[in-house]
Amino acid sequence: TIDIADDRVTEITAHAKGTQYYFPDVHSVIDIGGQDSKAIVISNKTGNVVDFQMNDKCAAGTGRFLEVMAHALEVPIDQFGALALRSNKSASISSTCTVFAESEVISLFARGASKEEIASGIHRSIARRVAGMSKRIGVGPKLVFCGGVALNPAVKKYLEDELGYEVEIPEFPQLTGAIGAALIAEANNSH
């Protein structure tokens, strides 16, 4: 049998450990996945999680939100970020609920806003929401952006705009939590 098979580790701890594997001097983590977004502050001295905040109650600010909005605009999800970056102007997306935002997007398009402007507004909306949540717990420079949404160039750029500094992205940002969990299991197994 495998002694560690039933051990548990929180998603927050796994993400912190996974980002430290890629970036040993990391101070903060933002993870935006398909179902939730989270911000994590890590101690410079111990490497332990100091604070975190999650948005897991609503799809707004997640990969699912981007998928729904891309579908509403009939744009493939893998091209959505590039489309947003082609615009010099962002349409204002004020709804924080996915259902209402989808209606708002359709309405903006019907009133003549371009797909690029709407896509830019959607991406800025996510960046603003996640940056606001992150600032409340004290994230700072030496920030790693992970989760599948980190592969979207517009979210990265607009997140950097909102935070006022550059963010790092691991080679495989969607695997950061899994790598962290594996590293924790390895460390626990060696004791």
Task: Provide the 10 A C-beta neighbour count for residue 152.
Answer: 25
Strands of the 28-32 sheet, one edge to the other: 49-55, 37-42, 28-32, 143-146
137-146 per-position pLDDT tens digit: 999 999 999 9
Please say whether the beta carbons of 3 and 40 come within 8 A.
no
State what percent of residues in the chain have pLDDT above 90. Answer: 63
CATH (domain of 123): 3.30.420.40
Report the pLDDT value the prediction gives residue 113, as an integer from 0 to 100: 86
Identify whether 190 is part of a domain: no
User: What domain range is 78 assigned to?
Assistant: 11-184
156-172 per-position pLDDT tens digit: 999 999 999 999 999 99
Mean pLDDT of 2-30: 87
Q: Which of the pair, 43 or 58, is modelled with greater confidence?
A: 43
Q: What's the total number of domains in the chain?
A: 1
Average pLDDT of every residue of the chain: 89
Please say whether the beta carbons of 154 and 122 come within 8 A.
no
The Cα–Cα gap between 19 and 90 comes to 32
Question: Partners of 51 in the beta sheet?
Answer: 41
Residue 4 has pLDDT above 70, yes or no: no
Residue 31 dihedral angles phi and psi, to the nearest 5°: -120, 120
Coil, helix or strand at residue 50 = strand
Could you tell me the pLDDT band of residue 155, with boundaries at 50, 70 and 90? Answer: very high
Report the pLDDT value the prediction gives residue 148, as an integer from 0 to 100: 95
Mean pLDDT of 144-158: 97
Identify whether 3 is part of a domain: no
Question: Partners of 145 in the beta sheet?
Answer: 30
88-101 per-position pLDDT tens digit: 998 887 766 666 77
Coil, helix or strand at residue 168 = strand
